[in-house]
């Protein structure tokens, strides 16, 4: 059995670990609230944007529609944008992204498609670099948290648009953790290009269907101007969701860690007290038997 | 009370402004135009410029936008802009600091926009 001094040190070290994890939990919880607010605040923009796109897209004919809307007509090359965290210690957050990415790449490969990866966030890149290094086209780091600027996002959508124009891409998907609640995140794969047009959306939203719109300068120009913005908006929304999910995952993970540390401390304290008692008993027996021998 | 149009200015980060206006003048890419109640439904792209919100016949708010899109219907006017600065409560030194950061980050577009916003103050 470990001696008393070792046990004491062990307890001390677990206690300080517990302090760190509980502090991290608190920080994550505070940041989570802001990230959640950010994610919610960004929704009006993207819903209004998609409403306009939808009403425009239903008018555009498939032959003349821009590639950003309808794709290139082929479906051979797929670009997968993978959103993970830059930092670890957030439970299964990065692991589940990595797993789903691997599965998605496999299934796309099986369909005979060429897959390329655009990694946003360090953790998934680190994990997948070895097996997928030849299909990773670019990596972005530091594009997350509560202070994402739209300029960062533009640099990502620029890459996508560039590749689309060069004919290196037919379909673009984004894989990220969608924020469901503080204890649940869901790995989601959304298709950014081609855009899925919800035909019945017009009927649902206010006056979109009722009034014939006038377009200035004209429909095609508006659409051309709008589509790159829409791409950025969607990526932005996904990144905000992913940031909120990361913080939520970290909060849960750190909460568990704090509780585990508490259990461990209890157990160790018990062992410590027992061995201390045992030592006292042994000493007493020695004294008594020494006295009897006299 | 005269008729109003529900004006909204939405950026990716938040709904920046929501107000009932008697007229909104927006910098459309084909030129400035005013959106009043019962305006024909229009979707127009915007160029960099100032959105002026009129309430009861006088300008109540001025917002600098860096392009974007406006969706006008008979009873509302929604401006979607990626970058927007509210010129009424913006602080010159604040904007200049932001411009400096944009400059340091080599973000030319942001810098140009903030320049324009500062000169429109």
Query: What residue of A is the nearest CA neighbor of B69?
Result: A226
All domains in chain A, ordered by first residue: 25-253 (3.40.1380.10)
Q: Is residue A151's pLDDT more than 80?
A: no
Q: Indicate if A172 belongs to the active site.
A: no
A211·B41 Cβ contact <8 A:
yes
Contact in structure between B109 and A151 (CB atoms under 8 Å): yes
Q: Is residue A170's pLDDT more than 90?
A: no
Query: Of the candidates B43, B67, B105, which has its C-beta nearest A222's C-beta?
Result: B43
Report how far apart the first and last C-alpha atoms of chain A are (Å, whole number). Answer: 32
CB of A214 less than 8 A from some CB of B: yes
Query: Of the candidates B10, B14, B29, which has its C-beta nearest A216's C-beta?
Result: B29
Chain A environment of B110 (Cβ under 8 Å): 151
Report how far residue A113's alpha carbon sits from residue A71's, in angstroms, rounded to the nearest whole number. 15
| Mean pLDDT lowest among A64-73, A124-133, A153-162, B94-103 | A64-73
Chain A environment of B82 (Cβ under 8 Å): 150, 229, 232
A28, A53, A90, A169: the active-site residue? A90
- Predicted confidence at residue A220, as pLDDT, reads 81
Name which of A178, A97, A96, A85 is nearest A140 in CA terms: A85
The domain made up of B5-86 is a member of CATH 2.30.110.10: no
| Beta-sheet strands, E only, within A121-264 | 136-140, 171-181, 184-193, 214-216
Contact in structure between A162 and B118 (CB atoms under 8 Å): no
A86 three-state secondary structure: coil
Name which of A48, A52, A42 is nearest A197 in CA terms: A52
Separation in Å, CA A62 to CA A29, A72, A98, B89: 47, 11, 35, 46
A48·B78 Cβ contact <8 A:
yes
Task: Determine what percent of chain A is predicted with pLDDT higher than 70.
Answer: 92
Q: How many CA atoms lie within 13 A of A250 on its CB side?
A: 26
CB of A229 less than 8 A from some CB of B: yes
A40-85 pLDDT, tens per residue?
888 888 888 888 888 777 776 666 677 777 777 778 889 999 999 9
DSSP B38-85: TPPPEEEEEEEEEEEEEETTEEEEEEEEEEEEEEE-SSEEEEE-SSEE
Residue A150: CB atoms within 10 Å: 17
Name which of A66, A53, A87 is nearest A242 in CA terms: A87
| Mean pLDDT lowest among A213-222, A265-274, B55-64 | A213-222
Contact in structure between B5 and B77 (CB atoms under 8 Å): yes
Report how far residue B48's alpha carbon sits from residue B113's, in angstroms, rounded to the nearest whole number. 8
B80·A151 Cβ contact <8 A:
no
Kindly provide the ipTM of the predicted complex, given to two decimals: 0.82
- Predicted confidence at residue A217, as pLDDT, reads 82
Report how far residue A196's alpha carbon sits from residue B103's, in angstroms, rounded to the nearest whole number. 38
Confidence label for A203 from pLDDT (cuts 50, 70 and 90): very low
Winning range, highest mean pLDDT, from A39-43, A142-146, A147-151: A39-43
Domain residue limits, chain B: 5-86, 90-121
Query: Of the candidates A42, A213, A216, which has its C-beta nearest B12's C-beta?
Result: A42
């Amino acid at each position: 059995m470990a001696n008393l001094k070792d046990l004491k040190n062990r307890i001390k070290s677990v206690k300080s670990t517990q302090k760190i994890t509980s502090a991290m939990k608190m920080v994550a919880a505070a940041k989570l609230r802001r990230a959640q607010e950010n994610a919610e605040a960004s929704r009006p923009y993207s819903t209004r944007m998609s409403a306009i796109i939808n009403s425009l897209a239903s008018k555009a004919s498939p032959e003349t529609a821009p590639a950003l809307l309808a794709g290139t007509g082929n479906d051979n090359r797929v670009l997968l944008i993978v959103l993970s965290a830059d930092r670890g210690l957030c439970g299964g957050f990065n692991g589940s992204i990595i797993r789903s990415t691997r599965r998605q790449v496999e299934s796309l490969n099986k369909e005979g498609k060429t897959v390329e990866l655009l990694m946003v966030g360090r953790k998934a890149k680190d994990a997948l670099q070895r097996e997928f290094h030849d299909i990773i086209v670019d990596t972005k780091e530091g594009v997350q948290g509560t202070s994402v600027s739209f300029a960062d996002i533009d640099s990502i959508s620029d890459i996508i648009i560039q590749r689309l124009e060069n004919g290196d891409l037919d379909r673009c998907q984004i894989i990220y953790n969608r924020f469901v609640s503080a204890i649940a995140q869901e790995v989601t794969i959304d298709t950014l290009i081609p855009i899925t047009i919800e035909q019945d959306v017009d009927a649902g939203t206010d006056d979109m269907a009722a009034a014939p719109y006038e377009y200035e300068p004209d429909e095609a120009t508006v659409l051309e101007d709008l589509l790159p913005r829409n791409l950025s908006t969607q990526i932005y929304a996904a990144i905000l969701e992913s940031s909120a999910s990361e913080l939520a995952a970290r909060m849960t993970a750190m909460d568990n860690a704090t509780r585990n540390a508490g259990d461990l401390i209890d157990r160790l304290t018990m062992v410590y007290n027992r061995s201390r008692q045992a030592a006292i008993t042994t000493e007493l027996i020695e004294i008594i038997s020494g006295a009897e021998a006299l | 009370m005269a008729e109003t149009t529900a004006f909204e200015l939405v950026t990716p980060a938040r709904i920046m402004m929501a107000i009932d206006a008697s007229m909104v003048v927006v910098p459309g890419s084909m030129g400035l135009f005013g959106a009043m109640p019962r305006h024909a439904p229009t979707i127009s792209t915007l160029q960099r410029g100032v959105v002026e919100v009129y309430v009861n016949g006088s300008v109540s708010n001025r917002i600098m936008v860096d392009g974007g899109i406006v969706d006008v219907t008979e009873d509302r006017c929604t401006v979607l802009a990626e970058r927007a600065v509210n010129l009424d409560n913006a602080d010159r030194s604040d904007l200049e600091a932001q411009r400096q950061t944009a400059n340091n980050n080599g973000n030319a577009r942001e810098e140009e926009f903030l320049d324009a916003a500062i000169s429109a103050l």
